[in-house]
Chains A and B, each alone.
Chain A
Amino acid sequence: MAAPLIELAGIERVFQLGDSEVHALHRLDVRIDAGEYVAVMGPSGSGKSTLLNLLGLLDRPNAGTYRLEGRDVTTLSAVEQARVRSERIGFVFQSFHLVPRLTAAENIALPMILAGLPPTRRAERVARALRDYGLENRADHRPDQLSGGQRQRVAIARATIMQPALLLADEPTGNLDRATGDEVVRLLEALNDQGMTLIVVTHDGGLGARARRQLLMEDGCPRHDRRRDETDGSPATCALPT
């Protein structure tokens, strides 16, 4: 069998808050194969965002190893990690995180600019992305001239412009109304259908149920790791707090 896309083993993430330690992630073991669609759910403070940040190399674990495409990425230098983020990982945030002074097209082009792609290749890809996400008429608009749904579509276009293997979305519909949220989710699912691995953090049970795999977090551990084709979830992958 091929190596999984993501392999987390014994991950610990501890935050120091004054005298007390917060175990945001505790003895976490997770494997995610390429092309999977995973919904990470759980109560507030259970470590969902922390997990996603680790997966996106925005944060480093205190202990444990993270293998991405078979390579241990926790020991990489900052420059190498930036390269992995640039080429292999796409981010979608709840609050969009568009650069306010840049137009939609410029925001979409940003990862390619940072990666040093020549302008002609960029223009071509941006034009295609604008078309794919129905933003042709909004290319020269700034984020404050766009609706929430349009903003999130720009963010998704930006996250996927470098054709990453892994797309991470932290509550991508959190700031959107129901209909717009559904539309955004359908876009993400379409990307997953094309083979991109999709990991979505969500509070919305209905949304989570659409994923083929649900990871239910509680106090830094996945309490349930359930695939849709299985009748019941696999047992918890870490010991419950006693």
Chain B
Amino acid sequence: MRAPDLIRFARDAATGNPLRTGLLVLAMAIGVAAVVVLTALGDGARRYVLNQFSAIGSNLVIVLPGRSQTGGFNPGNAITNTPRDLTVDDAQALQRASAVHRVAPLAIGTSEISVGGKLREVMVAGTTAEFIDVRRLQLAQGRFLPAGDWRRGASEAVIGAKIRDEMFGRAEALGQLVRVGDRRVRIVGVLATTGQGLGMNTDELVIVPVSLAQAMFNSNTLFRILVEANGREAIEPAKAQVTDILRLRHEGELDVTIITQDAVLATFDRLLGALTLGVAGIAAISLAVAGILVMNVMLVSVAQRTAEIGLLKALGATAATIRNAFLAESAMLSLAGAVLGFVLGQAGAAIIRQLYPVFPAFPPDWAVLAALGTALGTGVLFGVLPARRAARLEPVRALAKR
């Protein structure tokens, strides 16, 4: 039998029983669609987190006060239980390191902002002019904090877009005097909207000079020091230099935690990659179920078409021809199911992207290929048994059965 004839014969046999064929294709399609959609979700989550991290800025080395809990037991910690403060002077000292491009100190606290009778609780960030570049923020209006002596900042503030809207409505915000805590500050700039992001939401932030914030919160310690290395390759040297400088400044004791963005990213990448793989595995089970369904339906089909098989043998079909016809049919059904499932899955992922535009729900290529491959593989694999049973039927018995 010629290949095109074989394919046409198998196709006619499949379409000759639309209900059976439809159910099979649907089962296979659901399996493939499940893999595509679920891996799109898993990989979307991974990408979302990675994007959010890169949005914070790039080539960052972040200094936190205190030893990391995961760093293991440190006898130095046991003696001096309260770590030394991380100070503005520490931050300034880091600027001298050769691998460091920029440094921005960050002090954080909550306070209230009030203007014209309106009152609202806000997050106040004390920092310096470098912050806007290190964090890759955009201004909508005005200017950012001016460069200058870090210890003598002016009474100026830059506010987030949402604060601006809530406190001023349609009125002009630039140049206005507002109360933040017990201080009066002048608004010199408004940040552009960034939307909800990982970590702090700059839309609801009030940024003031670091000296002002520390005075406001009556504290000397910093929440973070953000260090931007000279480039990607400079991240590790920068980390080493920062470590050396801080250890020196803290009397030989390293009582800070220094993390690089890369390390955090890699951890999340691994974690969410494993999650995607796990989810894909679970979805693949539905493909195996579909495969077993293919086998059963094909076995029933062989039983129903016994007389036809006998006839084909009487007309000169060899066992191989019969086997190939049935294999072609189950392969075709699986292929149709896989393609339909692929389309459904992609459509599902597209709908998710429509509903949640910030969420990059794209199925990874490997998952799509694996799903299609598994669908075809199971279809053919589970089609072998029915096909062989059909091929082995004795023509006279097969014909006698009505």
A111 touches B316 (CB 8 A): yes
Q: Which residues of A contact B (CB under 8 A)?
A: 53, 56, 58-59, 78-79, 82-83, 85-87, 91, 93, 95, 97, 99-102, 110-111, 113-116, 118, 158, 162
Distance of A78 Cα from B12 Cα, bound (Å): 27
Distance of A59 Cα from B316 Cα, bound (Å): 13
A121–chain B nearest beta-carbon distance, Å: 12
Closest B residue to A99 by beta carbon equals B308
Of A58, A91, A114, chain B has the most CB atoms within 10 Å of the CB of A114
On chain A, the residues within 8 Å of B311 by CB distance are 97, 99
B9 touches A113 (CB 8 A): yes
On chain A, the residues within 8 Å of B171 by CB distance are none
Distance of A101 Cα from B317 Cα, bound (Å): 18
Closest A residue to B2 by beta carbon equals A116
Contact partner of B314 (CB less than 8 A), chosen from A79, A85, A162, is A85
Quick one: given A58-B396, A95-B402, A97-B311, are A114 and B12 in contact (CB under 8 Å)? no
Closest B residue to A115 by beta carbon equals B316
On chain B, the residues within 8 Å of A101 by CB distance are 12-13, 15-16
In the complex, whether B263 has a CB less than 8 A from a CB of chain A is no
B315 touches A91 (CB 8 A): yes
Contact partner of B5 (CB less than 8 A), chosen from A78, A97, A113, is A113
Interface size on B, residues (CB 8 A): 27
In the complex, whether B261 has a CB less than 8 A from a CB of chain A is no
B228–chain A nearest beta-carbon distance, Å: 72
B396 touches A53 (CB 8 A): yes
Q: Write the B382-402 contact mask toward A (1 if CB under 8 angstroms, else 0).
A: 000000000000111001001
Closest B residue to A101 by beta carbon equals B16
On chain B, the residues within 8 Å of A58 by CB distance are 310, 313-314, 395-396, 399
A83 touches B316 (CB 8 A): yes
Closest A residue to B315 by beta carbon equals A111
Quick one: given A102-B12, A113-B1, A116-B1, are A97 and B316 in contact (CB under 8 Å)? no
A114 touches B317 (CB 8 A): yes
Contact partner of A93 (CB less than 8 A), chosen from B9, B16, B317, B399, is B399
In the complex, whether B312 has a CB less than 8 A from a CB of chain A is yes
On chain B, the residues within 8 Å of A86 by CB distance are 315-317
Closest B residue to A54 by beta carbon equals B396
Q: List 8 A-B contacts (CB under 8 A).
A: A56-B314, A78-B319, A82-B318, A83-B316, A85-B314, A97-B399, A102-B12, A116-B1
B321 touches A114 (CB 8 A): yes
Closest B residue to A52 by beta carbon equals B396
Distance of A116 Cα from B6 Cα, bound (Å): 10
Name 7 extra pairs, CB < 8 A, besides A83-B318, A99-B308, A162-B316.
A56-B314, A58-B310, A59-B395, A101-B15, A111-B315, A114-B1, A116-B1
In the complex, whether B375 has a CB less than 8 A from a CB of chain A is no
B56–chain A nearest beta-carbon distance, Å: 64
Of B313, B314, B317, B395, chain A has the most CB atoms within 10 Å of the CB of B314
B140–chain A nearest beta-carbon distance, Å: 69
Q: Which of B343-402 contact A (CB under 8 A)?
A: 394-396, 399, 402
Quick one: given A53-B396, A101-B16, are A110 and B315 in contact (CB under 8 Å)? yes
Distance of A97 Cα from B311 Cα, bound (Å): 7
On chain B, the residues within 8 Å of A79 by CB distance are 318-320
A97 touches B307 (CB 8 A): yes
A114 touches B13 (CB 8 A): no
Distance of A187 Cα from B311 Cα, bound (Å): 22
On chain B, the residues within 8 Å of A158 by CB distance are 315
Distance of A133 Cα from B37 Cα, bound (Å): 57
Q: Write the B1-37 contact mask toward A (1 if CB under 8 angstroms, else 0).
A: 1100100010011011000000000000000000000
On chain B, the residues within 8 Å of A115 by CB distance are 316
Contact partner of A85 (CB less than 8 A), chosen from B9, B16, B316, B402, is B316
On chain B, the residues within 8 Å of A95 by CB distance are 402
On chain A, the residues within 8 Å of B319 by CB distance are 78-79, 82
Of A97, A100, A102, chain B has the most CB atoms within 10 Å of the CB of A97
On chain B, the residues within 8 Å of A110 by CB distance are 312, 315
Q: Write the B293-324 contact mask toward A (1 if CB under 8 angstroms, else 0).
A: 00000000000000110111111111111000
Closest B residue to A90 by beta carbon equals B315
